[in-house]
Amino acid sequence: MNPHLNSQYLMLLFAGGILVICVLILADYLLKKSIGRTLNPQDPTFPKVRLEDEAAFTFAAVKGVVTQLKTEQKATQEQLIAAERRAEENARKFELLAREIDFGLMVFDAGGFITFSNPLVRTLLAVDTWSRRRYGEIFHDIPAVSELTGECFEAGTETRNRAVEFQASDGTERRVEVSVLSTRDRSGALEAVACVFRKLAIPAPGSDEFIDPTI
C-alpha cells in the first residue's frame, strides 16, 4: 500500500472522527436545552395573544365597570328618593303644626324668597303670601318689618318681641309683635329666616281701652 495514501486515509479518518464528535456534542447540547425548557415550569413563556382575545378581555372589563356604576347609581337614586320622601313627610308635619299655633309664621329661604306661611299671618298682616316673592315685596307696606328682616339676612341680626304698628292694605291700623330668627347649617351658612307675628291690641282713640282691629 502506498504510504502517501495511508497518511491521507488516516487524516480523513481523524477529521471525520472530529466532525462526528462535534455533531454529537451539538446534538447533546440542543437535546438538553430542549428537555430543560420542557421540564422547568419557571421559565417564562409568552403565549401568543390574538387580537380577538384582547378585544374580548377589554369588552368584559368595560362591561364590568359599567355594571358596577349602574348598581351604585341605582343605590344612590334609591337613597335620594327615600330622603325626598322623608323631607316631604316632615314638611307636611311642619305645615300641620304651623296651622295650629297661635302665631303668624312666615319662612324665607336663603335667597329671601317666601317658602311657607300659615293662614293666621295672612290675617294678621293682610298681605298676599301665595306668590313666590322676596320679603321686600311682601312687606312693602310694612317697612319696619322689612327692615328687621333685611338686617337678619344681611348682618345676621335677630329680633325678638318687637312691637310694630302699621297701616294694613285695607286701611286699618294694626299692631303686632314680631320676632325675626334665622337658622344656619353646620358650616354657619344661612339656611332660612323665620318671621313670627303675634297680634297686639291698639289703644282706642281718646281712651285707655284697647281694640282689636282684626275683629
pLDDT in tens, 113-124: 999 999 899 999
pTM over 0.75: no
What's the pLDDT band for 5 if we cut at 50, 70, 90? very low
Q: Higher confidence at residue 156 or residue 90? A: 156
β-bridge partners, 199: 176
Provide the 10 A C-beta neighbour count for residue 148: 21
CB proximity list for 29: less than 8 A, separation 6 or greater: none
What's the pLDDT band for 8 if we cut at 50, 70, 90? low
- 77 pLDDT more than 70: yes
Provide the 10 A C-beta neighbour count for residue 202: 15
Q: Tell me what percent of the residues of the chain surpass a pLDDT of 70.
A: 61
What's the pLDDT band for 74 if we cut at 50, 70, 90? confident
Q: Higher confidence at residue 176 or residue 3? A: 176
Fold of 102-211: Beta-Lactamase (3.30.450)
Q: Higher confidence at residue 151 or residue 205? A: 151
What's the pLDDT band for 171 if we cut at 50, 70, 90? confident
CB proximity list for 205: less than 8 A, separation 6 or greater: none
On average, the pLDDT of the chain sits at 76
Q: Higher confidence at residue 192 or residue 70? A: 192
- 3 pLDDT more than 50: no
* Domain parsing of the chain, residue ranges: 57-100, 102-211
Q: In the numeric block, which cell numbers belong to residue 179?
A: 320676632
State the number of CA atoms in the 13 A half-sphere of 45 facing the CB.
9
β-bridge partners, 211: 202
- 212 pLDDT more than 60: no
pLDDT in tens, 43-52: 555 455 455 5
Contact 144, 166 (CB under 8 A): yes
pLDDT in tens, 144-166: 999 999 999 999 999 999 999 99
Contact 117, 110 (CB under 8 A): no
CB proximity list for 204: less than 8 A, separation 6 or greater: 210, 211
